[in-house]
Chains A and B, each alone.
Chain A
Amino acid sequence: MELSIENLTKSYGRGKPVLSGLNLKVDGSGITSIIGSSGAGKSTLLRCINRLIEPDSGTVRLNDVELTALKGAALRKARRSIGMIFQSFNLLDRLTVMENVLAGRLGYVNFWQASSRRYPQADINRAYELLELVGMEEFVNQRASRLSGGQRQRVGVVRALMQQPSILLADEPTASLDPRTSLQIMELLQDIAGNLGLPVIINIHNVDQARTYTDRIVGLRYGHIIFDGTPADLDEAALDAIYDGKDWNEEPEEPGSGNGGPTGSSSGGSRSTRGSGSSGGKDTKRELEGARA
């Protein structure tokens, strides 16, 4: 898998460009986090990749397919291989968990299958397996509007995985969640990046979480990349540059998560203790591990 972004520019109206001549390459697996203050262009960057937002100029390539050149059916086909999860989950509130999850297959099934909910057996099997992976198998026929925030985001992750994506985009997936739940979601994303070998690009506000859970950090400011390195490289000076010297540490520190920058080795360690993640849905277990991590 290789995603390469070249010279990407986007401005809204006649204002200052949100992204100007941005270049970024992401390959292999692991989590790449994009940090930056509000309005730095993080969300725009992510949406320019799957063209939910139309960039003004520049190219985005995924595995040698130039996404920015696609139109109509070809674009929709390309979107299938880019999973996306959202800050406000964006579940179909009035539909059931299973309908939400199967909606991840909308790019593959025809309209008759989609509207009559007659999805292929393989899709249904995959939906159950993924729901078990995140511990949501008991909620299949529950309406999405009745789930808690953490449960919604897990359904959101499963929906994205149903697309069988070759890359996952996460737009501030933990910003609407309480601190403990947001750590559970970060661990889930870490699992996915590690065990499924799926690269994840994540916009994130919480610098501590970015340091703890990700392998690479990209700092964005005024539409430019001004930092690109490992969590260990992200020092005070870099943060001051990204956040304009302002107090970047808005949220109170989680106990035990703010001590220095754990690198790939330590996150790899916590991954192996959790095994394949088949027992990952048990909330109490996750909580304990979240506290330990």
Chain B
Amino acid sequence: MQAQAPGSAGTASGRPDYRWKRPQFFTNPFVRWGVPIAGLAYLVWATSTLSINWNRVAAGIPRAGRIFSNAWPPDFSRSNLIISGFTESIQIALLATALGLLISVPIALLAAKNIMPRGLHWFGRGIIIVARSFHPVIVAIIFVKAVGLGPFAGVLTLTVYSLGFVGKLLAEAIEEIDEGQVEAMRATGAGFIKVLAYAVFPQILPRQVGLSIYQLDSNLRASAVVGVVGAGGIGGTLMNSFRRFDYDFALAILLLIIAIILVSEAISGRLRSGLS
């Protein structure tokens, strides 16, 4: 074979060059140009209607500087408030994770269409969709209205959050299992529950453990957030300190939140790498 110089006309067999171009994602040229133009136009319109006031932005910068200078150095002196707040947040996170994981297993089973009769799986799917439709802060507002201020509302909020997330991913894991094992267990004369115990649970166990660690991690962060709307924990303390312009106390809380999240990240990372 004789190597040909790039750009040479004709192939080795004497035919003219073949032509090949990557197929366009949008074959219609109107769509190909219209989509980015429309996107850009929307961004311009959205920016103009949100009435972004550059004077306020300019005034905000020195104000932010003042807040930060007031906040420094962070004030850790009110340690009893800090400790009780964080203890409550961690309690909320742990309780909600345990509850959420417990409830998510039956709901995931209910939502998996390969093991549930058609129609019935929409019931489980529906619970998951409802649990996932709202951000935890909105759920927390609802629960605070329902059961009053305090950590109980926080536990309920994060339980809903956990069962939505873990339930969805677990249901997907169940739908991806190797059906051959299920078939083999049915062939031995095993009933539904025994088939679950032998052919389904062992297959989803590694996924379940990984999800549990992730969810605990996630609930620790979220427990600080839901406190802001009155669902207990350190978030409430943080909100109060802002309201009273105690910026140095607020900074202390923020730094501790970062520290706790770093620690939980490290622990969960270690656990996860130990699993695989």
Contacts and interface: CB of A to CB of B under 8 A. Distances in A.
Do A and B pair up? The answer is: yes
B189 A94 contact: no
B190 A106 contact: yes
B183 A90 contact: yes
B99 interface: no
A99 B180 CA distance: 16
Contacts of A93: 178, 181, 202-203
Given A86-B180, A114-B198, A115-B197, A94 B203 contact: yes
A90 B194 contact: no
A159 B185 CA distance: 10
B194 A114 contact: yes
A90 B188 contact: no
Interface of B is mostly: helix
Interface residues on A, range: 20 to 34
Interface residues of B, number: 21
Interface string B185-206: 1111111011001110011011
Contacts of B191: 73, 76
A106 B180 contact: no
B202 A95 contact: yes
Contacts of A84: 184, 187
Contact of A103 (B185, B193, B203): B185
A80 B189 contact: yes
B187 A77 contact: no
Interface string A144-166: 00000000000010010001000
Contacts of B189: 76-80, 106-108, 163
A50 interface: yes
Interface centre among B180, B181, B183, B199 (most CB of A within 10 A): B181
Nearest to A73: B191
A115 B196 CA distance: 10
Contact of A95 (B178, B194, B198, B206): B198
Interface of A: 50, 52, 73, 76-80, 82-84, 86, 88-95, 99, 103-108, 111, 114-115, 156, 159, 163
Interface of B: 178, 180-181, 183-191, 193-194, 197-199, 202-203, 205-206
Closest 10 CB pairs of A and B: A107-B189, A106-B190, A90-B180, A90-B184, A79-B189, A80-B189, A84-B187, A94-B202, A76-B189, A106-B188
